[in-house]
Each structure stands twice: as structure tokens, then as C-alpha cells.
Amino acid sequence: MTVSFEQPDSQSQVVDTKNQCELVLDGGFMVPNNSGGFDAPDINAFGHTFRDYEIESERQKQVEEFYKMNHINQTYDFVKRMREEYKKLDKLEMSIWECCELLNEVVDDSDPDLDEPQIQHLLQTAEAIRKDYPNEDWLHLTALIHDLGKVLLLPKFGELPQWAVVGDTHPLGCAFDESIVHNKYFKENPDSNNPAYQTKNGIYPQGCGLDNVMISWGHDDYMYLVSLHRAGAYKHLMNEEDVENLKWLQIFNKYDLYSKSKVRVDVEEVKPYYLSLIEKYFPEKLRW
């Protein structure tokens, strides 16, 4: 599914600075203080620090096993095959909200911070952004749809294994960076035996742009989104457009990563608001 948003004109925005922090990001957005807004917690739903992959627990063992399978099986050729298969968009037609409801059936095995159905993660992220940026409805909708590609786990979409749908993403066709979580398992990946893929740039020209880089297959690629590795390990492949988009990604990441909670959003209570956004931006059913 291909989706796009027209970003607000930052030159025409007027920003009230009285109750904001001093940090201003391009795009006209400020990082708000926590007075009445979203307050990022220090610990995740399991009582640990966020994104900690080293804690000994049953959840962490499951997460590590996921990344082992992901790092062994995500190869350049595998991603090429998946892109060819799924760009047909021949599974079914449905609305954005119908897709959201399908995520009631999906739990992300790669997530060390939450084991709730994915519709809760979508709504928790969207509601957190809504608190801090009440007037940016396009950003609320971005949060709502950002993980819809996880429907790939369901039978009607091919019932792909978790390692082929969720988890952090990384480029293929160049050296695997050491900062990637559970990096040790890449030694079993067939691409590790291809000399062309073992340099920093690999098969890519410097600054080629992330649109031209083969990224590990999953829900992000299915939604035609480009994910930047959280450690910034592949900035040498970015072009000017990627750098501009990074500013928006840095805003979004706070809410995507730190809004996860065992306290569920009342779906029926917030549903009318998100249906109104879907009607505004995506009134028709989409091909998936």
C-alpha cells in the first residue's frame, strides 16, 4: 500500500513559544514540555528500561530468538522476492480502520517493551502525539497507520513468519553494522559470504539515498516506508531528502518507542475521531 502526506508549510506556521522548550526542529515543530502533554515513562510495560535487549527474562529470550531467525534469513535475494510478490497488492481491498481492527490478532514478538495486540500500540502512539500536537491531525493519522503492515502475519496476507514482518530494519547489500541488535547472528546469514556485501557502502554509491537501498523485508517495506537505523549507522547512504525526513522521524520516534503501556486505550471512545481523519485523508478503500 502506498500512502503519502503533504507536510505543513513550515514557513507559514506561527509557533507559540510561551509554554514550549527551546529546542526547535525544522518543519515548524517544537518539542513540547510535559505540562499537560505526553510524559514519556522511564520503564516499559515489564518494569525494565526501554529497548533493553540484555535483561534475562522469558520475554527477552523470545525476542532474542526472533532476532536470530531474522538475521539469518533476511538476505538481499529474499527481499527482492518479497518485493516482487507483495507489490502486486492483490490480497484484498479494505479501509484503513478495517486494517486497524485486524491488528487485534497481532502481537509483535520482536518488541521487548510490550506484548499487547498491535492495535493498542497504534492508538497509544497516536493518542500520545495528539496530546502534544493537537492541531496536527495528519501526524495523528501517521501514528495510526505506521505499523499496519504487520497484517503480513495474518493468513489472508500470506501468514509470513514474525522474522519476515517485524523487528528493527537494516540495509542489505552492504556490511552489517555492529550496532545492530544481536549482531552476532549475522555470521550465519548467507550474505556474509558474499565479498561484494562486506564493505561499508557495499553495492551502493555514497549518498545514493535510502529509497535506492535494499532494506530488510517487513511491515515497513510493505507500507513503502523507509526506516533509519536508530544508531545512525547508515547515514553515509542518505541523500538530502532523507536528511530532511530524519527531522520528522526524530519527533515521531519518541512517541513510537515510549508510549507503550499496559493501560489500554478505549478503542470505541477514540474510534470516531480516527474515523474522521480516515474519511478526510483516505475516504476510499485501498488495495492491499
Binding site for Fe cation, residues? Answer: 121, 146-147, 219, 256
Task: Give, as one character, the DSSP assignment of residue 148.
Answer: G
- CB 218 within 8 Å of CB 165: yes
Rounded to the nearest angstrom, the gap between the alpha carbon of residue 250 and the centroid of all alpha carbons in its chain is 12
Count Cβ atoms within 10 A of the Cβ of residue 166 and give its class: 0-12 exposed, 13-18 middle, 19 or more buried: buried
37, three cell numbers: 502533554
Q: Which ranges constitute the DSSP H helices of 155-218?
A: none
Q: Which residues are annotated as a binding site?
A: 121, 146-147, 219, 256
End-to-end CA distance of the chain: 6
186, three cell numbers: 549475522
Q: What is the β-pairing status of strands 20-25 and 29-32?
A: antiparallel
Task: Give, as one character, the DSSP assignment of residue 287.
Answer: E
